Amino acid sequence: MRHTPGMNGHSTLTRIAAVAAAGATVLAVAACGSSTTGASSGSQAVPVVASINQWGSVAHDLGGSNVNVTSIMSNTKVEAHDYEPTSQDVMQFTKAKVVVVNGAGYDSWASKAAQSTSATVVDAARAAGKKTGDNPHVWFSAAVRNDVADAITRAYTKADPSHKAEYTQLNRKWHAREQALEKRIAAASVRTAHVRYAATESVAWYLAHDLKMSDATPRGYAQASANESEPTPGDITSFQKALARGDIAMLVFNSQEADSVTDQITGSATSNGVPIVSLTEQMPQKYDDLLAWMGALVTEFSKAA
């Protein structure tokens, strides 16, 4: 961009005005949307932005018609860990009163975008005592889901105190469903306990842990995957040998992080008759919410065990 002395102030002001106008448009649309879904009592729905659709769905469940949730990432075919937000993505945050990010280094672009707003930020990983360096796929963890739900409810009550009673009720309803899911996990773990699984990426590590399964991913490969570096040819060979030897009873395949290396590993699993559970980072569109998706995955793990 060309910097003409004396023009800078003007162009900044123009930009601010443009941002404000765009923000107003988004708010107007949001207000229209909420009125068509019958949002109550003449008040405007709380604008909520979630970086990823799995937490966005929880934010929706907990806010009902009092909130209007926008999820930025919902595509199960886009590389999740190295996601580069568009300027439109970043723009979404300016209208938010409540922002839900995953944290633990998974979506630092979102935490950064939220910093420049006055929104109340729920950092899912932090709400559950997880930090950068821990496995960031925290939505697969029952303990984390419980803590995040309560943190979202607190943020809603702060942003919109007049609907506190409704938020409390929706929180209770949500916990009842989470408890039902955890009962299913406990029931499934009769089959899945101690089943030795390996993963092309440690995406569902927390769910497998809740199902009492044993992570048998060959060490070199697992370390390379966790560091987002390329496994060596030796790492790949030992993974394939472990599958051929029968050391691994189930392969968990993250189809959102697929490449020629994971092709070789799923190929070995198939030719050795090792069942594959295929899943993604973001929640597939066909599920209503995170709990429904987790329930379906529990069934799949149980079937494959």
Least distance from C-beta 62 to Zn ion, angstroms? Answer: 25
- How far apart CA 279 and CA 76 sit, in angstroms, is 9
* Beta strand pairing call for 120-123 and 214-215: unpaired
Least distance from C-beta 80 to Zn ion, angstroms? Answer: 6
Task: Between 203 and 297, name the residue whose CB sits nearer to Zn ion.
Answer: 203
Residue 119 CB coordination number (10 Å):
22
Task: Between 140 and 167, name the residue whose CB sits nearer to Zn ion.
Answer: 140
Task: Between 54 and 94, name the residue whose CB sits nearer to Zn ion.
Answer: 54
Least distance from C-beta 259 to Zn ion, angstroms? Answer: 13
Least distance from C-beta 176 to Zn ion, angstroms? Answer: 30
Task: Between 203 and 213, name the residue whose CB sits nearer to Zn ion.
Answer: 203
Distance of CA 215 to the CA centre of its chain: 22
Task: Between 153 and 225, name the residue whose CB sits nearer to Zn ion.
Answer: 225
CB hemisphere CA count around 289 (13 angstroms): 17
Task: Between 203 and 251, name the residue whose CB sits nearer to Zn ion.
Answer: 203
Task: Between 67 and 203, name the residue whose CB sits nearer to Zn ion.
Answer: 203
Residue 54 in 3-state DSSP? Answer: helix
Residue 156's identity, in one-letter code, is: Y
Structure letter (DSSP) for residue 64: G
What is the phi/psi pair of residue 41, to 5°?
Answer: 50, 25
**252: alpha, beta or left? (left if phi > 0; alpha if psi -120 to 50):** beta
Task: List Cβ neighbours of 295 (8 Å cut-off, separation of 6 or more).
Answer: 181, 184
Least distance from C-beta 144 to Zn ion, angstroms? Answer: 15
User: Which residue has the closest beta carbon to Zn ion?
Assistant: 203
What are residue 49's DSSP bridge partners? 70, 99
Q: Which two tokens stand for residue 233?
A: 């040819």
> Which residues contact Zn ion by CB under 5 A?
203
Angle between helices 233-245 and 260-271 (to 10 degrees): 20
- Please name the residue that has the structure tokens 């942003």: 159
Least distance from C-beta 254 to Zn ion, angstroms? Answer: 6
Task: Between 61 and 107, name the residue whose CB sits nearer to Zn ion.
Answer: 107
Least distance from C-beta 107 to Zn ion, angstroms? Answer: 11
Length of the chain: 305
Least distance from C-beta 200 to Zn ion, angstroms? Answer: 10
